[in-house]
Amino acid sequence: AAKEHKKQFKAEIKQLLDIITHSIYTNHEIFLRELVSNASDALDKLRFLTAGGHDVADADAPLEIRINADADAGVLTIEDTGLGMTADELVANIGTIAHSGSAQFMKEAEASGESLDNIIGRFGVGFYSVFMVADKVVITTRSATPDASPMSWTSSGTGSYTMQELDGDAPRGTKIEIHLKEEAKKYAEERTIKDILHRHSNFINFPIMLADEQVNTQPALWREPKFKIKKEQYDEFYSFLTLDQTPPLETLHIAVDAPVQFTSLVFIPASPSNSLFDNPDNYGLDLYVRRVLIERKHKALIPEYLGFTRGLVDTEDLPLNLSRETLQQNLLVDKIKTTITKQVLAQLAKLTEDKERYAQFWTNHNKVFKLGYSDYINRDKFAELLRFNSSTDEDAQGLTSLAEYAERMKEGQKAIYYVSGPSREAVRLDPHLEIFTQRGLEVLYLYEPIDEFIMDALGKYKDFDLVAAEQADIGELEKFETVDEDEVKPEALNEEDAKTFEGMLSAIKEILGERVEDVRESKRLKGSAACLVTPDGAMSSQMQKYMQLMVK
């Protein structure tokens, strides 16, 4: 046999292994979910290759996952007929090169406290979870590349691993032999394995054979007729897909025949979409062509502002041998995206009828959703789905739609007014609001920079202009009667006071010089001594601040 090479794990990997093997609050059984999902990924990749007409070793081998357990010896093996790994791939994928995900994983692991169950599969570190239960792991792998040599890899998950090229031939794919730790021997019992597979791997798209019996029962849920599927099955599929244990807020099962044939499952998570913001590129729906996985999180299937959704699309209408690059500009993909966008927006519109649940959606996903101001075609629908805090809400948690504002408007009111600031407290101190309060006019409170971009992009809601309070036409506001009954009408100044006042204005003007355009007597202030106003047609002051921030 060829020489055995001993290699050290990269420092990051050692650290990672240390975190994973010592995380006592993590449910150890998830190692099986991770290894089965890797086997399934490898089979998906192989199927993608053969569908594209590439030559592979053992072209006739069935695509499946085999699990065998020897309870007495405490050894478990998981075998797939997937893509396999060449010597270089083995080094690159398992061992030396720290994936970009491992740093992110460690950050999340720290933030999530004790249990790694839900994050371990997300950052390209799932394989290492096997060392929670194993004191030795042997990988035997033979790449699908026709002339590749079979390889073996052995490690106890501490500091190093050994690699060796094997003599002779071996079947295509990867076999993982797990020598269980004493306290983890139960994972070599068939009943236990079966239970775990049912819990975590029921929806795997390839047969999982445990001692010659297929244990996964529900492939391709999205291809089943809707009326046959129970809510629990959708929820179960969602948690299989996302590792999120909280059932989704909404589930859409879409089946369309024209202009493109496709079926799709789209979920709106009930959990916050934080990670999308840490990594804005991390969105999209999984794309299948005739049940062959083409790409996970394919971005062209959903606009960025609906990127908080999770799910998949399966179509009959695309050729299998399409490259991922040409997919980006594919017209059919574009049509699928248009249909899904419409359906998600319609579903959200329906959800608004349930205020509490809609508020949950809004709180969790508004940061991403607000990017929708750039979707020109669906702008009206988008506008209806927006929520803002308002002067008529009781507290900062209140949510008001533009429609609700419009309904509450005073007769003759032509605009929807808003004011920006970091918080409700700060906004309420804004002197520009005085006249609105005095006249009983509602004002929307905008707390985030993007809100002002939205108002700017929309320009109007129905026939009403969207206007920043500081840019409001005072004459227009003065048309409305004051609602403040104790209001003291300002007395006209006597001649002498008027002179003093004139003098003061010119003194201020002189001091401020070119920094301002003009200094005028205010007709709108009551409780405040002075305020800055923006000339007509200029950017609001808040907007100017954001622009300055961006230029810096």
Q: Which amino acid is at 350?
A: K
Q: Which does 82 bind (CB under 5 to 8 A by kind): ligand ADP, Mg ion, none?
A: ligand ADP
**60 Cβ neighbours under 8 A, 6+ residues apart:** none
Q: Which does 85 bind (CB under 5 to 8 A by kind): Mg ion, ligand ADP, none?
A: ligand ADP
Interface residue with Mg ion among 21, 23, 38, 273 (CB under 5 A) is: 38
Give the Cα separation of 134 and 113 in Å (integer): 23
| Torsion angle (degrees, nearest 10) of CA 484, 490, 491, 493 | 180
Minimum Å gap between C-beta 388 and ligand ADP is: 39
The two tokens of residue 544 are 């100017």
Q: Which residues carry a binding-site annotation for ATP? A: 34, 38, 80, 85, 93, 100-101, 174, 324
74 is a contact residue toward Mg ion (CB under 5 A): no
- Cβ-based nearer residue to Mg ion, 33 or 365: 33
174 is a contact residue toward Mg ion (CB under 5 A): no
Closest CA to 388 of 377, 378, 397, 376: 397
Interface residue with ligand ADP among 20, 63, 94, 293 (CB under 6 A) is: 94
Half-sphere exposure for 261 (CA within 13 Å, toward CB): 8
Give the Cα separation of 416 and 441 in Å (integer): 9
Give the Cα separation of 486 and 507 in Å (integer): 33
Closest CA to 78 of 32, 43, 47, 42: 32
What letter would DSSP give residue 353?
A: T
Interface residue with ligand ADP among 140, 174, 273, 438 (CB under 6 A) is: 174
Assign 164 to helix, strand or coil.
strand
Number of residues that bind Mg ion (CB under 5 A): 2
Candidates 79-87, 224-232, 507-515, 536-544; binding stretch for ligand ADP (CB under 6 A): 79-87
Number of residues that bind ligand ADP (CB under 6 A): 17
- Cβ-based nearer residue to Mg ion, 38 or 140: 38
- Cβ-based nearer residue to ligand ADP, 85 or 170: 85
Candidates 9-17, 33-41, 169-177, 508-516; binding stretch for Mg ion (CB under 5 A): 33-41
* Cα-only R_g, the chain: 31
85 is a contact residue toward ligand ADP (CB under 6 A): yes
Interface residue with ligand ADP among 127, 222, 262, 267 (CB under 6 A) is: 127
Candidates 71-79, 119-127, 219-227, 488-496; binding stretch for Mg ion (CB under 5 A): 119-127
Give the Cα separation of 392 and 441 in Å (integer): 9
126 is a contact residue toward Mg ion (CB under 5 A): yes
Minimum Å gap between C-beta 137 and ligand ADP is: 11
- Cβ-based nearer residue to Mg ion, 44 or 452: 44
Give the Cα separation of 130 and 38 in Å (integer): 12
Q: What SS3 string covers 277-322?
A: HHCCCCCCEEEEECCEEEEEEEHHHCCHHHCCCEEEEEECCCCCCC
Judged by CB under 6 A, the chain residues 24 through 43 that form the site for ligand ADP are 34, 38-39, 41-42
Q: Which does 83 bind (CB under 5 to 8 A by kind): Mg ion, ligand ADP, none?
A: ligand ADP
**46 Cβ neighbours under 8 A, 6+ residues apart:** 56, 63, 81, 82, 83, 144, 172
| Torsion angle (degrees, nearest 10) of CA 374, 375, 377, 380 | -80
125 is a contact residue toward ligand ADP (CB under 6 A): yes
Minimum Å gap between C-beta 104 and ligand ADP is: 12
Q: Cα dist. 198→33, 50, 74, 76 in Å?
A: 10, 29, 21, 17
Candidates 15-23, 123-131, 227-235, 414-422; binding stretch for ligand ADP (CB under 6 A): 123-131
Minimum Å gap between C-beta 524 and ligand ADP is: 59
Q: Which residues carry a binding-site annotation? A: 34, 38, 80, 85, 93, 100-101, 174, 324
Interface residue with ligand ADP among 52, 124, 398, 449 (CB under 6 A) is: 124
* Residue 461 backbone dihedrals phi, psi, to 5 degrees: -120, 120
Candidates 76-84, 192-200, 275-283, 381-389; binding stretch for ligand ADP (CB under 6 A): 76-84
Minimum Å gap between C-beta 147 and ligand ADP is: 18
Interface residue with ligand ADP among 74, 82, 95, 431 (CB under 6 A) is: 82
Residue with tokens 């959800």: 351
- Cβ-based nearer residue to Mg ion, 199 or 379: 199
Q: Which does 125 bind (CB under 5 to 8 A by kind): Mg ion, ligand ADP, none?
A: ligand ADP
Judged by CB under 5 A, the chain residues 431 through 490 that form the site for Mg ion are none
Give the Cα separation of 56 and 71 in Å (integer): 35
Residue with tokens 């629990």: 232
Q: Which does 161 bind (CB under 5 to 8 A by kind): Mg ion, ligand ADP, none?
A: none
Q: What SS3 string covers 236-261?
A: HHHHHHHCCCCCCCEEEEEEECCCCC
| Footprint on this chain of Mg ion (rule: CB under 5 A) | 38, 126
The residue ranges that bind ligand ADP (CB under 6 A) are 34, 38-39, 41-42, 80, 82-85, 93-94, 124-127, 174
